[in-house]
Structure 1
Amino acid sequence: MRTRLALAGGLALLVVVGFLAGAALWGYLRFEAPGPATVETTVRIPQGLGVNTIGHQLADAGVIDSPRLFSLGVRLLSGGRPLQAGEYRFPAGVSSRQVMETMIEGRTVRRRLTVAEGLTTAEIMALLAEAEGLEGDLPPDSEWPDQGTLLPETYFYSWGDSRAALLERMAGAMDEALAELWLDRAPNLPLRTPREALTLASIVEKETGVASERPRVAAVFINRLNMGMPLQSDPTVIYAVTQGKEVLGRSLTRRDLANDHPYNTYMNPGLPPGPIAHPGRAAIEAVLNPMQTDELYFVADGNGGHAFAKTLAEHNRNVARWRALMRQ
């Protein structure tokens, strides 16, 4: 009798063990199997959520089919590593294991914000304010960064990053770039400080949108500074009118050119008090290593570039050609 009971108990135990092993294998295979998503799916996981809540959010988005299985799989197979919050883009058919590994490693969506060369502080602040996924307020106008202190380039960020932190990255990038380029500057430039280089670079940035022209435009201004000639740059006059807070929206007038403002380089010799925009790295390089030329003038050529001249007579002919093109 006892033998029969022992055998029955043993068989029951084997059945239970077999059942549990089968259930474990079934669960493991489901955890490894392709999930229900038929299209790429983006899910945003806020900070502070537990594994169960994350599982339900993923299931609601159609990425996984079983929150309970996902939660159990994470607890058994994650090695104690936490799932990280953030914005994730999961491909169609992603398995629960792949979801877990993606979130453990924090492979979040990389968003990008491109800051074009020559933008003003007000324009960059508007970009930051409108950038999707960034959080937090920007500083008030009185605490905005000075013109020229932010480096234009493409910045990558993740959903939930702060606007203030991205602004700090822009400022740090400019500090680093300017320090590096200042060390490699050409000798005998009429630029005493890195800030003066930034000021001239911002003018060059506003004067031409043609990358190959920057060193040549910079050379014209360097030559003028060396000779004590006024820079006579229209963008500085525009800045005197707008303070970089808006687009002028009209042509400059004689009254604008005669305005005795510190940024009017028609009325004041030398550099203006500071940058008029945020120059890119190439513009800074151009003023610190300008083209070697005797040219003192340039004017638009009607084709997006400029016609350069060494003498006033030659310049006047270029101006006449440009005006004729404008009349046409």
Structure 2
Amino acid sequence: MFARHIAANALTLIGVLSFAGVAVVAWGKKQYEAPGPLAQAICLRVEGGADMKDVADTLEAQRAVSTRAIFAAGAQYSGRAHLLKAGSFLVPAGASMQDINEIVTGSGRSTCGTEINYRIGILRAKVEVNELDPETSRYVEVVSFNPAEDDVPAAYTEMRDDPSVRYRITMAQGITSWQIVEALNNADFLSGEIAEVPAEGTLAPLGEDVRVGMDRNELIAQMVADQERVLAEAWEARAEGLPYANAQEALIMASIIEKETGVGSERPMVASVFVNRLNQGIRLQTDPTVIYGITQGKGSLGRGIRQSELRRETPWNTYVIDGLPPTPIANPGKAAIEAALNPDDTDFIFFVADGTGGHAFARTLQEHNANVAKWREIEAQRAEEAAAAGN
């Protein structure tokens, strides 16, 4: 009887403990998934070789978690603890411990801290060192320089080899292949040597993160593959009745469109003008092709086009030759390629700058001459204002 009483009490105790254990687990799970105490976003730095306990300590010190033990236990229980990545990660205000666990075990791509952005533009390239402000989620420039011309700042040298730094290359659309190769060769965080300049138009302008030490030829191959894919998809979805014998001619047209306007919404309209001119047997008469015939894509002209150059015959001078030039004059982006293959349906055959950064379009020479006269007035007024400001 006594033994049965002891056994009954033991079973009761086990039941109570089991119930309590389930309750504790349920409470811990609720805490793990609930919004956290973080009042403002932070940039969480995870050092190489750190483990979840180290991360838990840092989070507790920054008051991003209520209980470090629950964070560490939750990470282990989720099976993601071994996926911890080194880097700098943006943790938003109110992030739960579960959210933070997924942030630090995800792609490993740094989302805050320092970003080194290599911007390759039409006229120049520059390296920007930026720091993310966690409170505003905006990058603030620390320093910038032209790697081809300027001394390398100490601020760049000090953080260049930091494994948590995020590297990005951003290229302007309409940049030439020569300019791309020159700029990539000046990027000291890349490796390898580009043996020759790729054919004009074959490179899709980059705008993405890159790895430190990435081979330059790997980047070039990626850009070629991307451009081939974009062109193939646009060619497949092209409008009917276009004056192109093949996709290469569409790429040539896209490069001209890219160089003629920096206003994205205008690309299909500009494309319609050039398509109409081709269909009517009118020469394209576009200045960027003349410039390419002079520079061969090796940098900018740096001055206005001379009348003698407008009359000089080169394979790219569309004031002299009929139809399209033999090659693209730059590397167009996706939007310009799509515009070349799906232009607006208009009867415009002229356009000229309108003083706003865009263009005025015309159907007749009389309309066009009136638009040109307005543009000349704007140019003269700006020249007067510049002269007055100089005095």
The match for 1:232 is 285
SS for the counterpart of 1:216 is helix
Q: Is the 8 A contact 1:83 1:104 kept in 2?
A: yes
> Compared with structure 1, are the counterparts of its residues 272 and 40 closer, same or farther at alpha carbon in structure 2 (3 Å cutoff)?
same
Q: How many Å apart are 1:235 and its aligned residue?
A: 0.8
TM-score (normalizing by structure 2): 0.58
Q: For residues 201 and 38 of structure 1, do their structure 2 counterparts lie closer, same or farther at Cα, with a shift above 3 Å needed?
A: same
Structure 1 length normalisation: TM-score?
Answer: 0.67
Q: Does 1:82 align with 2:136?
A: no
Letter in 2 for 1:118: G
Cα separation, 2, equivalents of 1:130 and 1:40: 36
Q: SS of 2:105's equivalent?
A: helix
More helix by share: 1
Deviates more, 1:233-242 or 1:285-294: 285-294
- Write out per-residue CA displacement over residues 77-134 of structure 1, whole angstroms, 9 at most, x where no aligned residue: 3436522324311245767665434323447445876654433346666887999xxx
The one-letter code sitting in structure 2 at the alignment partner of 1:204 is I
Instruction: Map 1:1-328 onto structure 2 (within 5 A).
Output: 39-45=40-46, 74-75=75-76, 77-79=77-79, 81-85=81-85, 86-91=87-92, 98-106=99-107, 108-110=109-111, 115-121=171-177, 136-137=189-190, 140=193, 142-151=195-204, 155=207, 157=209, 162=214, 170-303=223-356, 304-311=358-365, 315-328=368-381
Q: Percent identity?
A: 41
1:259-303 deviations in whole A, cap 9, x for unaligned? Answer: 433222223332223222232333223322334445433323344
**Residues 233 and 138 of structure 1: is their aligned pair in 2 closer, same or farther, counting only changes over 3 Å?**
farther
C-alpha distance in 2, partners of 1:191/1:282? 18
Deviation, 1:193, is 1.8
Deviations 1:20-64 (CA, angstroms, capped at 9, x unpaired): x9xx99x99998999997753324546666556766877898868
Bigger CA radius of gyration: 1
Paired residue type of 1:254: Q
Distance 2:92 2:238 in 1: 49
Structure 2 residues without counterparts, runs of 5 or longer: 1-16, 113-167, 382-391
- Return the letter of the residue paired with 2:105: I
Give me the whole-angstrom Cα distance separating, in 1, the residues matched to 2:269 and 2:32. Answer: 63
The C-alpha deviation readout for 1:126-162, integer Å capped at 9, x for no partner, is: 887999xxx9516645445443334458x55488695
Please, what is the CA RMSD of the aligned residues?
Answer: 4.9
Kindly provide the amino acid, as one letter, of the partner of residue 338 in structure 2: E
Pairwise CA distance, 1:250: 1.8
What SS class does the counterpart of residue 82 from structure 2 fall into? coil
Contact in 2 for aligned 1:296/1:310 (Cα 8 Å): yes
8 Å Cα contact 1:150-1:170 kept in structure 2? yes
Give 3-state SS (helix, strand or coil) of 1:247's partner: coil
Tell me by how many angstroms 1:224 deviates. Answer: 3.0
What does the per-residue CA deviation read over 1:299-321, in whole Å, with 9 as the maximum and x for residues that have no partner? 2334431232434x554454344
